Structure 1
Amino acid sequence: MRSRKIASLGRVLGLAACLVALPLTLQAQEYQSLERRSLDQVVAVVNDGVIMQSELEERLQQVQRQAEEQGGSLPTGVNLRRQVLERMVVEELQLQMARDANLSVDDTELNRQLRSIAESNGMSLDAFADRLEADGMSLGQVREQVRREMLIRQVQQRQVGGRVSISDRDVERLLAQQAPGGPTEQAVIEENRARHILIGMTPNRDESQARAMANDIRRRLQQGESFAALAQEMSDDQGSALNGGELGWLRPGQTVPAFEEAMNELPLNQVSEPVRSQFGYHLIEVLERRRQDVTQESQREQVRQAMFQRRASEALEGWIQEIRSQAYVDIRL
């Protein structure tokens, strides 16, 4: 015991001697480095990556904040820390797979997703950033979190999507079990045949310029210029522009909410005011409307979606257990 104490003391004295020999500025830098290492430490090694204590603490704060907002309850103490860390380990494994596969998230798509999140909360992107700051977060942090989630989704779709298949026979069998006598409720929907011209925001065109451009195109349409010709020339929706802006028959839920709401309120053959969505500004014209009985089709699709979600969830859980068991993971809590 005495020899171990002396050896330990010798190491301390040796370190002190080194510090004395260093200039004061280097001593301060070394002390700050040691202090940082003492404040932060590795809590998990995941293959060739690590999860730091500071990252775990940040995630714990997010989880607790979300639980408070939703009125939910959480495990306490060590159990919560272990559950959150395990979730972070699984995320890190999937992000490593994304890096190995050279997957990436397009900045335009990422910005669109952030704008969509803000709009789903009834806020502009600026108001959303202010709200995050008030909650102790930044738009940059959320942007990085969304980017990670989008990468993980890509990995899951690649790895799990192909493992799930739903046949027509599966659907018919479940339908027969649920409603042996056939459909009990009629489903009738209203469809719109519409066309649009989209003016999006670009690095060289801000929102006010896009809105002004859309208003100018609407004025030209009112003066008699061809909708199809202007769509081909001006629309940023390349998929429909070549077809004169035609979108075909649209069912409820096939377009973003702002577009669908404006389309449903439009009289036939009238061009809308510029309609703002996460994609930019739309000029919409409804050419026809019809009602469709989709009772059986709707039931089949609902059953197919329910079966897919259940099987995909089971496949995802099995795949996660698989990659977790194959990885090198060292938990250091």
Structure 2
Amino acid sequence: MGAVATPLLAEERVVTLNRIVAVVNDQVLTQNELKNELFAVRQQLRQQGIRPPSEEVLRKQVLERLITTQIQLQQAALLGIVVDEETLNNTIKNIAAQNNLTLAEFRDVLQRDGFKFPLFREDIRKEIIIRRLRQRQVESRISVTAQEIDDFIATQKAQGNINSDYHLGHILVSLPDEATPAQIKAAKNRALAILQELKSGADFKQTAIARSDGRQALQGGDLGWRKSGELPTLFADVVMNMKVGDVSEPIRSASGFHIVTLFDFRDSERHIIRQVQARHILIKEEADDEVKPEAQLKEIRDHLLSGGDFATLAKRFSDDIGSAQNGGDLGWVSHGVMVKPFEEVIFNLRDGEISAPFETQFGWHIAQVLAHRDFDNTEEHNNTRARDLIFQRKSEEEYLSWLRKIRDEAYVEYRLDD
């Protein structure tokens, strides 16, 4: 029969190619799912210039990530978390735009790199679902108090590193919940063995890929650039006393033994922002207006250009009650405070210039910029940043704890070696 397969042989071939590699609660992971994820990880490692570990080790790491993802998707399904097609399509369009590509060009790039667009699309759907699940199950329960922000800033100032950034690597030797003394001893010995390899010259990223149980293992254990407030509380003090290239001793936590390295370090500059001192007159459009707002504002602008007083006219005509009583004064305005159409106008005006009438969602405006300045916003920026960093740190710690809990509670059966 040459190369033609009988139906029976064809069916056997399909079973061989797409066999079950793991059972996760009442669902399965297949060989094809593992194969597709392995391809994506290899591509990612190649782009990062990281040599992958052996095929056996990489398959084990990738399968663990697939299992964790599957458990989270099952949790999301129980809670009724879904992603509609419009949200998914808009997210993919935004990803393409961030890469300066049209959607069609983005699809071509994916296909050229060996990725199937339908699979990529479903991966993005899963990412959005898991992000929503994390927000609902973890982040919605986290709060940051004013006292925590004050304490954080005081600590950072005392250490002299409030604006310092740390580029970290991380290796985790995990422990199960309620680990026995024997399990703790075995994990510690494994961590010490890994540390000795690193001290003997082993590449940290390659070692993380092959040996780490952490969530960033397949990224070479790279945690990226983090402010000190983003560092896990467990090893924040250790990291802030490290020099570039240092590798820590194993650090014990409930989740296991951690080894961290400092890839790089930098001091951030002060936070300087561009501001304009602006005032405006707003006229809202009403259905029964005899004179349209745009025409009214043109007349007011002509009067101002002829020497009229802006404050007086704002008090008389402006529908923005809050600023009208102050002569239309908006004070010093930073980027991101006003709606985009308003900012696009005022940040392009010269000192003393009065704009032509323009429309926003609130109505029609004319605006005048009195002055520009570069403002040192470091203190306010540090307060906002401190809150974000504390939230992120709490979120990451709670998320890892929650992941460990649902992983321990799940039924997982490995069939990779069947």
TM-score (norm 2): 0.52
Q: Which residue of 1 aligns with 2:76?
A: 98
Distance 1:57 1:178, change over 3 A: same
2:41 is matched with which residue: 63, 67, 78? 63
Question: Following the alignment from structure 2 to structure 1, what is the Cα–Cα distance between the partners of residues 12 and 390?
Answer: 54
1:324 is matched with which residue: 396, 407, 418? 407
> 1:133 Cα deviation (Å)?
1.3
> 1:156 Cα deviation (Å)?
0.8
Note the 1:127-276 alignment, pairs <5 A: 127-180=105-158, 187-190=271-274, 251-252=334-335, 266-267=348-349, 269=355
8 Å Cα contact 2:346-2:368 kept in structure 1:
no
Q: For residues 143-200 of structure 1, give each alpha carbon's deviation from its aligned partner in whole angstroms, at most 9, with x where no partner exists.
A: 11111100011111111113422211111011112224999976443357899xxxxx
Q: For residues 37-92 of structure 1, give each alpha carbon's deviation from its aligned partner in whole angstroms, at most 9, with x where no partner exists.
A: 02221001000111101110110010010111121233322111111110100100
Q: Which residue of 1 aligns with 2:262?
A: none
- Number of equivalenced pairs: 251
Distance 1:265 1:298, change over 3 A: closer
Structure 2 counterpart of 1:123, one-letter code = L
Question: Following the alignment from structure 1 to structure 2, what is the Cα–Cα distance between the partners of residues 36 and 123?
Answer: 37
Q: Which residue of 1 aligns with 2:313?
A: none
> 1:34 Cα deviation (Å)?
1.9
Question: Following the alignment from structure 1 to structure 2, what is the Cα–Cα distance between the partners of residues 286 and 72?
Answer: 56
Q: For residues 279-331 of structure 1, give each alpha carbon's deviation from its aligned partner in whole angstroms, at most 9, with x where no partner exists.
A: xxxxx989466656533221111111112112211111111110000000011
Question: Following the alignment from structure 2 to structure 1, what is the Cα–Cα distance between the partners of residues 102 and 296?
Answer: 34
8 Å Cα contact 1:263-1:285 kept in structure 2:
no
Match of 1:179, SS state, is helix
2:66 is matched with which residue: 85, 88, 104? 88
Match of 1:136, SS state, is coil
Question: Which deviates more, 284-293 or 295-304?
Answer: 284-293
CA-atom RMSD, angstroms?
3.9
Distance 1:58 1:186, change over 3 A: closer
Q: For residues 114-168 of structure 1, give each alpha carbon's deviation from its aligned partner in whole angstroms, at most 9, with x where no partner exists.
A: 1111111111111111111111223322211111100011111111113422211
Distance 1:298 1:329, change over 3 A: same
Structure 2 counterpart of 1:159, one-letter code = Q
Unaligned stretches of 5+ in structure 2?
164-268, 281-291, 299-319, 321-329, 359-363
> 1:107 Cα deviation (Å)?
1.9
> 1:104 Cα deviation (Å)?
1.2
8 Å Cα contact 1:163-1:315 kept in structure 2:
no
Distance 1:126 1:194, change over 3 A: farther
Which structure has the highest strand share of the two?
Answer: 2
Distance 1:133 1:296, change over 3 A: same
Aligned residues: percent identity? 32
Structure 1 counterpart of 2:355, one-letter code = N
8 Å Cα contact 1:90-1:324 kept in structure 2:
yes
8 Å Cα contact 1:194-1:285 kept in structure 2:
no
8 Å Cα contact 1:45-1:331 kept in structure 2:
yes
Which structure has the highest helix share of the two?
Answer: 1
Structure 1 counterpart of 2:70, one-letter code = E
> 1:332 Cα deviation (Å)?
1.3
Q: Which residue of 2 aligns with 1:281?
A: none
Question: Following the alignment from structure 2 to structure 1, what is the Cα–Cα distance between the partners of residues 67 and 396?
Answer: 19
Question: Following the alignment from structure 2 to structure 1, what is the Cα–Cα distance between the partners of residues 57 and 345?
Answer: 50
Question: Following the alignment from structure 2 to structure 1, what is the Cα–Cα distance between the partners of residues 99 and 159?
Answer: 42
Question: Which deviates more, 117-126 or 319-328?
Answer: 117-126
> 1:252 Cα deviation (Å)?
4.0
> 1:250 Cα deviation (Å)?
7.5
> 1:224 Cα deviation (Å)?
5.5
Question: Following the alignment from structure 1 to structure 2, what is the Cα–Cα distance between the partners of residues 288 and 53?
Answer: 65
Question: Following the alignment from structure 2 to structure 1, what is the Cα–Cα distance between the partners of residues 357 and 48?
Answer: 42
1:34 is matched with which residue: 2, 6, 12? 12
TM-score (norm 1): 0.64
Instruction: Establish whether residue 121 from structure 1 lines up as the match of residue 121 from structure 2.
Output: no
8 Å Cα contact 2:297-2:366 kept in structure 1:
no
